[in-house]
Amino acid sequence: MSLAFLLPAGLAALAALLVPLLLHLARRNEQTPTDFAALRWLRQKPKPRHRIRFDEWPLLLLRLLLLALLALWLARPVLSGMHDTRPWVVVVPGVEADDVRIQTSEAGARMHWLAPGFPSLEEPVAAGTTAIGSLLRQLDAELPTGVALTVIVPATLQGADAERPALSRAVTWSVVDGAMPASSAKALPPPSLAIRHPAGDEHALRYLRAAVRAWRPSGAATPQIDTSDAPLPPSSQPLVWLVPGPVPVPVTQWISAGGVALLAHESAVDDIVMSPMAWHDAEGAPLVEGAPLGRGRVMRFTRPLRPEAMPVLLDADFPHRLRALFDRPAPAPARVLATDYAPTGGGATYPVAPRDLQPWLALLIALLAVVERWMATRRTRSVAP
């Protein structure tokens, strides 16, 4: 445990301790001597030497203490080394708290849930998906160096990161029976395409219609098919542009505003470098290329939509690969065996912030100021300074 000052220059305020000393010394000149005629003929005796004497020394000491504490407050004192070194036991929500108390043999251990805020094990916490790796890294950074950490987890975890957490301390990883409930992922509805084609050319539409019917076997919805002069759909609805030649400016502006468009092989967009996407034929040649455009995304077939040029149009997998172009990326797997997610060492060590003493000094100064005012203004005092 050590005391330090973040602003040592504030100690210069200790020079103000001279003020109450001078004020108490000046009070001795408040009494003015008066000569009496009857005493003028008495023999004058030598005056005794004056000694320095302070009146009301309790009040003086209190004022000196107030100024000293104020100077310390200005210096911003901090105290390091006053940390709780008791071991920590954190439990993943879903594990029975009573079982944890039976298994834990460390006396005086602090027991908490591995949840935001690290609530005490006595508080009820709903079982569910938590960011286990992120919470472990946060706790490792907040705990002082040398504090033992035990983590009690069920056999199957939900909410794991893409990699095992690397911590700065050795962790006792205790696996118990049970599993966290799997998150219920909602199936996304299939996209509703808006198709624009040149007037008089509907050859490629048959393959797109068949793909949409495969997405919606009930046939409850059909793609919005119209010619190129029709109004553009909302930016939340994907667009398939089958018109050859340069893409009109309104379409590129629609994409830049956040739309997603799939262009035909004969369509062209100026000043955009396309990159191959993860859809290839049997020989490994890309079938679709794409690039970001503003806040949106533009894609383009690399071949004409004809079976002789693009045989995958007749494959049973074509509807699924076409839909994958418009679906949002699937979330990374978050369910893992607890034995495969045990933390590793080698993580960065973070110094624990020292305890700031300014708030406590401010409270003490306020209390002493009230006492000083009471002592300075009480009625029993003969003379007020």
How confident is the model at residue 385, as a pLDDT?
Answer: 45
Q: Which residue has the tokens 């210096």?
A: 75
Highest mean pLDDT among 23-37, 290-304, 353-367: 290-304
pLDDT for 212 beyond 50: yes
Other CB atoms within 10 Å distance of the CB of residue 136: 23
How confident is the model at residue 39, as a pLDDT?
Answer: 60
CA distance 44 to 234: 113
Phi, psi of 321 (to 5 degrees): -70, -35
pLDDT for 292 beyond 50: yes
What is the arithmetic mean of pLDDT over 277-281?
87
How confident is the model at residue 46, as a pLDDT?
Answer: 57
pLDDT for 234 beyond 80: yes
The backbone region for 289, taken as left when phi is positive above 0, alpha when psi lies in -120 to 50, beta otherwise, is beta
CA distance 241 to 230: 12
How confident is the model at residue 255, as a pLDDT?
Answer: 94
For residue 194, the surrounding DSSP H or E stretch is strand 194-197
How confident is the model at residue 239, as a pLDDT?
Answer: 94
Would you state the structure tokens that stand for residue 152, as one six-digit string?
A: 């009690």
pLDDT for 50 beyond 70: no
CA distance 289 to 277: 5
Would you state the structure tokens that stand for residue 73, as one six-digit string?
A: 């407050």
Q: Where are the alpha helices (DSSP H) in the chain?
A: 18-26, 57-74, 97-103, 132-142, 205-215, 249-256, 318-324, 358-377
Q: Can you give the pTM of this predicted structure?
A: 0.49
Average pLDDT along the chain: 81
Between 91 and 57, residue with greater pLDDT: 91
pLDDT for 240 beyond 60: yes
What is the arithmetic mean of pLDDT over 14-37?
67
How confident is the model at residue 55, as a pLDDT?
Answer: 64
Contact 77, 354 (CB under 8 A): no
Q: Which residue has the tokens 């401010």?
A: 362
pLDDT for 384 beyond 50: no
pLDDT for 181 beyond 80: no
User: Which amino acid appears at position 12 of this protein?
Assistant: A
Would you state the structure tokens that stand for residue 281, as one six-digit string?
A: 């034929």
Chain segment 120-130, per-residue pLDDT in tens: 888 887 666 67
CA distance 247 to 269: 6
CA distance 132 to 153: 10
Phi, psi of 131 (to 5 degrees): -80, 85
Query: Which of 90, 87, 166 lies closest to 134, judged by CA?
Result: 166
User: Which amino acid appears at position 189 of this protein?
Assistant: P
Would you state the structure tokens that stand for residue 80, as one six-digit string?
A: 């390091």
pLDDT for 52 beyond 70: no
Would you state the structure tokens that stand for residue 111, as one six-digit string?
A: 């027991």
Phi, psi of 69 (to 5 degrees): -65, -35
User: Which amino acid appears at position 215 of this protein?
Assistant: W
Contact 13, 371 (CB under 8 A): no
pLDDT for 96 beyond 90: no
What is the arithmetic mean of pLDDT over 23-31?
60
How confident is the model at residue 100, as a pLDDT?
Answer: 72
Chain segment 56-80, per-residue pLDDT in tens: 778 888 888 888 888 888 888 887 7
CA distance 179 to 104: 20
What is the arithmetic mean of pLDDT over 150-173?
86
What residues have CB less than 8 Å from 247, skipping those under 6 apart?
A: 241, 263, 267, 268, 269
Contact 160, 334 (CB under 8 A): yes
How confident is the model at residue 301, as a pLDDT?
Answer: 95
Helix, strand or coil for residue 197? Answer: strand
Q: Which of 251-255, 267-271, 333-337, 340-344 has the lowest mean pLDDT?
A: 333-337
Sheet holding 296-301, edge to edge: 224-227, 194-197, 239-241, 260-263, 296-301, 288-293, 275-276
pLDDT for 348 beyond 50: yes
